[in-house]
Structure 1
Amino acid sequence: MTAITVGPRFPALAHIPKAPVRAAAARAILRTSVSQLPVRVTFPDGTVWGAGGSGSPELRVVRPQALFARLGTDTKIGLGEAYMAGEWTTGPGSDLGDLLTPFASRLTRLVPEWLQRFRRFVDENLPEQQRNTTAGSRNNIEAHYDLSNHLFENFLDPTMSYSAASFERSDESLETAQERKMERILDAARVGEDSRVLEIGTGWGALAIRAARRGAQVTTITLSHEQAQLARQRIEEAELSDRIEVRIQDYREVDGSYDAIVSVEMIEAVGEEYWPTYFRTLDARLAPGGRVAIQAILMPHQRMLATRRSFGWIQKYVFPGGLIPSVEAIEQVTGQQTRLRLVTQHSLQPDYARTLRLWRERFTTNWDTIRTDGFDETFRRMWEFYLAYSEAGFASGYLDVRQLTFTR
């Protein structure tokens, strides 16, 4: 097989692994798997696999040998890498999110059970450099959030909220749904006049601004210099600089006492090794009578246990050091390590699928503007796959996202 042309951001993709036995196995597994899915897999020679009819989502294979070589070498990473490299794409009229959703719905059953027993022999462990130590966390956060504020501005809504929205009607805007999400989490934490608020994970300042408009005094922390810079600008434009302090600081370094602690989709970047430290910090920083409200992406507990040590496509290309917890894991840690107890939870699962679809539509529409920051076609396909892959996780029910409230 000859090398392919990819952009300079991902030079390793130009190398196609040589694994003929594993490639043959991957081919057989995919053919068996799609025979039970409402999709079509089409090949350059006209061969068609899958249980889907002519109107079903189409996975169009462009370079079969390269695709199966990648799948055989690492199933969890190979599919995304093959998409980035242009070795497969969607057929005319097919949407990538719709195509990936049936796969996500049967993710735990795509590989035969007898083969799953050999997972430990083929799974790649999380790289040491992605551990969420104080230094490692900074590197991991910067790798994603310091890509470019311009990138995020061109696919997020005007609030710059990079998390699940909360929709109530089919015709409402993403901005309205994001505002509702923020109000809901501030209500859960009982943020009001003169509340001392700690926000872990600033984003671009939207939640801190809304808390300050309620009369709260807010300390918000981030490890992203790009985020901090734009958040401070937005806070100044909102004339709230006297009520909000933006710090570039690790959660483990925060001191003081706070009536409310809020954190939106940041726990996924903590890592299992540091969950006890994270929740002990929340407990230590929470004033008597205070409340903690976090929004967390979640997965079923048994699935989390099965995959927590393995290295996947998302961790390699999008969120280094990331790990999605389960509600059970969170309750175990808080029950054993802290005085915090989970008192309410509210799911936004279907809302996240819709949020991600809208982000992907905006990303595609604004690609010509985004690419001026130096992002190439390989990056475009990576980001497109990331958004569609995530959407499929929520649309299929494989992933959940909830607002969790804790008190002592």
Structure 2
Amino acid sequence: MSSVPLTVPTGINADRWPDVARVPAASAAARRAAALLVRHAVARLPLRVEMPDGRLLGAGGPTLRVHDADAFHARLAAGGLVGFGESHLAGEWDAPDLVAVLTVLAENVATLVPAPLQRLRGLWAPRQPNDNRNTPGGSRRNIAHHYDLSNDLFALFLDRTMTYSSALFETLPAAPGDLAEAQHRKIDRLLDLAEVGPGTDLLEIGTGWGELALRAAARGAHVTTVTLSAEQRDLARRRVADAGLTDLVTVELRDYRELTGHHDAVVSVEMIEAVGAEFWPAYFERVHALLRPGGLAAVQAITMPHDRMLASRDTHTWIRKYIFPGGQLPSVEAVEASLPRGLRTVRRDAFGPHYAQTLRLWEETFTARADEVAALGFDDVFRRMWRFYLAYSEAGFRSGYLDVQQYLLRRDPAVAPAAPEGR
């Protein structure tokens, strides 16, 4: 039975990108099965797939062009959706409108794989590596993988506020010039929810590059903000010093599990995605314990459907392999199930379409500044990876598969927090 030999696509650094540079070996039968699965999946989709031999698959719509069918099918056979993403990084397929193609796939993600194979997912889908668990040491490695890439890289595509989470626009669609104001609108809404004002003792879990802390200090709050990214900490400290707010803001390199004391309010923006499903209850227990009785927590979280979260939470996905090792998006149901008895949801507001617009603006800026990204030392595969990540994410929000929520939580004064493990 013949197999696709190991090959190295031209121009790809095999040491930096081993699984992109080498096409995995796959038997002719495995490649045929993958090709059949592709035909079956796209036959009813509003998608146009152009094969190298001129065949057209799909029911018509945005175009996906396959340049190397053998490699494309071999990667699908060996790696499933991880292989699909790696095939794009290798240049074996592309799309004139990548977001449109990925949106179609996101809208139909639950039915792309036939139901019998879905039920056997545990047998064929790769498992998350144990090293990616978000233990204290694992969390530091996972955060460094993404956030310590380069402050200069993030500065190239984020707006002047250096805010790396969903903005909240006044109107949609948004224009590039709207982004900084929309980030401030999002931050201000979180601070308003948590009733942050003069004299508030505020804890922020997940500093980013410091914009929320600066915004809170400008209200007169006393802010302690923590991050696991050394790069973020260093830039946030410089920004705080430049703003003359060092008397109001303390930036620390610390894990949320190490925090003690009590605060009037806690704010955490899109940090829960890096906590890991097994640690969500511990995370919310810590938030509960860090609040004074009656205190408020404002938490912004990306969410996904509960059934898809359950199906994929132990799987080693493309996004976990290349972008966010150890990452896991919760569902609304999972967040509620993770809250301790003394921490209750006061309100929850969703604004997923605003994240799709935020990601579109980031991707347009990143693409326009590709030469500057290259000048920082990021190669062509990295640039394709980053564009795929931004497009993949935008497609999730465009399709409604993903959403983003702002939670307001209150600590019940009558319920004491549970004692931390080991104490």
In the superposition, the TM-score normalised over structure 2's length comes to 0.93
Distance 1:342 1:27 in 2: 47
Distance 2:128 2:276 in 1: 11
Q: Deviations over 1:310-349 (max 9, x none)?
A: 1100000000000011111111121xx3410111111120
Displacement of 1:171: 5.0
Q: Deviations over 1:256-308 (max 9, x none)?
A: 11111000000000001111211110011001221001100101111111111
Equivalent position of 2:33 in the other structure: 25
- 5 Å-filtered alignment, 1:43-122, equals 43-52=51-60, 56-90=61-95, 94-122=96-124
Equivalent position of 2:22 in the other structure: 15
Q: Could you tell me which runs of 5 or more consecutive residues in structure 2 were left unpaired when the two chains were aligned.
A: 412-423
Distance 1:22 1:104 in 2: 25
Displacement of 1:74: 1.9
Q: Deviations over 1:5-35 (max 9, x none)?
A: 3134212322211223332222111112212
Q: Deviations over 1:129-166 (max 9, x none)?
A: 10101111000000000000011000111111101111
Equivalent position of 2:416 in the other structure: none
Percent identity for Structure 1 against Structure 2:
53
What SS does the aligned partner of 2:359 have?
helix
Distance 2:26 2:16 in 1: 25
Equivalent position of 1:154 in the other structure: 156
The residue type equivalent to 1:105 in the other structure is E
Do 1:350 and 1:395's aligned partners in 2 also have CA atoms closer than 8 Å? Answer: yes
Task: Give aligned pairs, total.
Answer: 400
RMSD: 1.1
Do 1:74 and 1:122's aligned partners in 2 also have CA atoms closer than 8 Å? Answer: no
The residue type equivalent to 1:12 in the other structure is D
The residue type equivalent to 2:227 in the other structure is T
Equivalent position of 1:227 in the other structure: 232
Q: Deviations over 1:109-148 (max 9, x none)?
A: 1111122122111111111110101111000000000000
The residue type equivalent to 2:359 in the other structure is L
Equivalent position of 1:313 in the other structure: 318
Equivalent position of 2:364 in the other structure: 361
Do 2:19 and 2:86's aligned partners in 1 also have CA atoms closer than 8 Å? Answer: no
Do 1:283 and 1:338's aligned partners in 2 also have CA atoms closer than 8 Å? Answer: no
Displacement of 1:350: 0.5
Equivalent position of 2:375 in the other structure: 372
Distance 2:162 2:272 in 1: 19
Equivalent position of 2:249 in the other structure: 244
Q: Deviations over 1:65-94 (max 9, x none)?
A: 10111111121201110011111011xxx3
Equivalent position of 2:419 in the other structure: none
Equivalent position of 1:282 in the other structure: 287
Displacement of 1:248: 0.3
Distance 1:305 1:118 in 2: 14
Equivalent position of 2:385 in the other structure: 382
Do 1:294 and 1:405's aligned partners in 2 also have CA atoms closer than 8 Å? Answer: yes
The residue type equivalent to 1:129 in the other structure is D
What SS does the aligned partner of 1:154 have?
helix
The residue type equivalent to 1:82 in the other structure is S
The residue type equivalent to 1:128 in the other structure is N
Distance 2:399 2:136 in 1: 35
Counterpart among 36, 45, 67 of residue 37 in structure 1: 45
Q: Deviations over 1:349-379 (max 9, x none)?
A: 0011111111000100111111112110000
What SS does the aligned partner of 2:157 have?
coil
Comparing 371-380 with 13-22, greater Cα deviation is found at 13-22
Equivalent position of 2:418 in the other structure: none
Matched, 1:135 2:140: no
Matched, 1:340 2:366: no
Distance 1:199 1:98 in 2: 36
Displacement of 1:221: 0.2
Cα distance, 1:63–1:403 mapped onto 2, change above 3 Å:
same
Distance 2:341 2:208 in 1: 26
Do 2:356 and 2:397's aligned partners in 1 also have CA atoms closer than 8 Å? Answer: yes
Q: Deviations over 1:153-204 (max 9, x none)?
A: 0011111110111112235511111111101111111111100000000000
Do 1:132 and 1:321's aligned partners in 2 also have CA atoms closer than 8 Å? Answer: yes
Equivalent position of 1:270 in the other structure: 275
Distance 2:119 2:282 in 1: 33
Distance 1:76 1:16 in 2: 15
Do 1:298 and 1:399's aligned partners in 2 also have CA atoms closer than 8 Å? Answer: yes
Equivalent position of 2:300 in the other structure: 295
Distance 1:45 1:299 in 2: 38
Equivalent position of 2:213 in the other structure: 208
